[in-house]
Structure 1
């Protein structure tokens, strides 16, 4: 069943009024890409639960969960997610979808990273050339992955060539385009925005180290008694169930698939 037919069925069926609210902390990539704007109304129509999206970096999203300011988190930093659950702040961490990271940069590739064999090697080449590089610098899942790659390269990035801007993925891509700089970006946001970034292109991709999985985690009601745990679990069931997984797999921008469902093929 195609996505437009699913949406047609929902339009023909009476929508439930939004009588509950779910506070969801998530990454800027799920927001900037337009994914949640496409699928959350379907969830609300089926359940009557409205989703209030707070789009921040993964680190800030998990902090909101620890502070009991949200009901669920949808993030993409596996080590930080596992620590969050093991510390008792979240429960039922479920795989939802994945894409991958890519390194975008100037079309003429002044650092020559197209010849690199690994993502860590690309960063070594960028540092050696002192080519402009934009870091989100915001403790997001993307920033965590970037720092991991710098550690693998044995480099502490610093100097006038390294821009740490403390902003989301969309803003970082715009800044990199302005500066003709390299940066690490999730593929979903890149595909959603690349037509607005004519001077940048993907210059490195395909390293297994760039795999980028997303998980949904309900905030633990024992830690946060006021959390809407029932709504969080219903949202998790929707994202990982047949309808949610189909919507994720069929969400495209300009004919390009941005995310791949992890539960259903």
Structure 2
């Protein structure tokens, strides 16, 4: 009888271990549309998955929505680009710790006709002021994403309340970067976009990069483990392994090697 109990216990432990391994066989990463639309994640994730056997399931939405999803427990890792919001996420206990991963920059794109005459400028606030003064069409994501948050900061610094212009020369799509660029292309309008999505975007039409190089257009990405104290279902071991890989020499090298037409889209800067 004792032997039977021991064997039964061993079987139960084995099943439990197998269940734990199965639960850790995948993670959910709440991320931004830019990491997905640019092709970065499709490029780097196969290497991690082959090395670890962990499947990475990406939910690509705006940063604001990604943070909300993580707060609701719908994810194990947050990979986004709105540092102030990320730090708040951690400070309020939703995330364990935030790490810099990589950066690129935002650019202002617009029509070749350039009615606001901003081409060649390096001052984003001056460019937005000119767009407002001329009532030239501007298309915003309007979705609380990292790009939208950055855009609103620049309008605020310019002293312009775009809410007053909404529906007139200022249009909000409530959509991701690709959809917003499609609208801007169709309207011959200005838009703020991350450079990686712009380079991967196929429907540029008459749009070109008109303003770039302003330090204010710096675009930092961070990664955070969702706090298991808030959501016990977080797959901590697998999620932490993914974070460690992103921050490792191997992961950083994978990010750096991702290029489009010979141009590097993201620049690793994990400490």
On whether the aligned pair clears a TM of 0.5, the verdict is yes
Report if the CA contact (8 A) 1:49-1:231 is conserved. Answer: yes
Call closer, same or farther: CA 1:76–1:128 in 2, change over 3 Å: same
Map of 2:195 onto structure 1: 187
Map of 1:23 onto structure 2: 28
Map of 1:166 onto structure 2: 174
What CA RMSD, in Å, does the superposition of the two structures yield over aligned residues? 1.5
Map of 1:151 onto structure 2: 156
Map of 2:19 onto structure 1: none
Report if the CA contact (8 A) 2:252-2:268 is conserved. Answer: yes
Map of 1:13 onto structure 2: none
Report if the CA contact (8 A) 2:256-2:266 is conserved. Answer: yes
Map of 2:231 onto structure 1: 224
Structure 1: unaligned runs, 5 residues or longer: 1-16
Report if the CA contact (8 A) 2:142-2:173 is conserved. Answer: yes
Map of 2:211 onto structure 1: 204
Cα deviation for residue 256 of structure 1 reads 1.4
2:147 to 142, 148, 173: 142
Q: Runs ≥4 in structure 1, deviation > 3 angstroms?
A: none
Cα deviation for residue 118 of structure 1 reads 1.8
Map of 2:186 onto structure 1: 178
Report if the CA contact (8 A) 1:176-1:182 is conserved. Answer: yes
Classify the secondary structure of the residue corresponding to 2:181. helix
1:97 aligns with 2:67: no
Classify the secondary structure of the residue corresponding to 1:131. coil
1:37 aligns with 2:42: yes
Map of 2:261 onto structure 1: 254
Tell me the TM-score normalised to structure 2 length.
0.88
Structure 2: unaligned runs, 5 residues or longer: 1-21
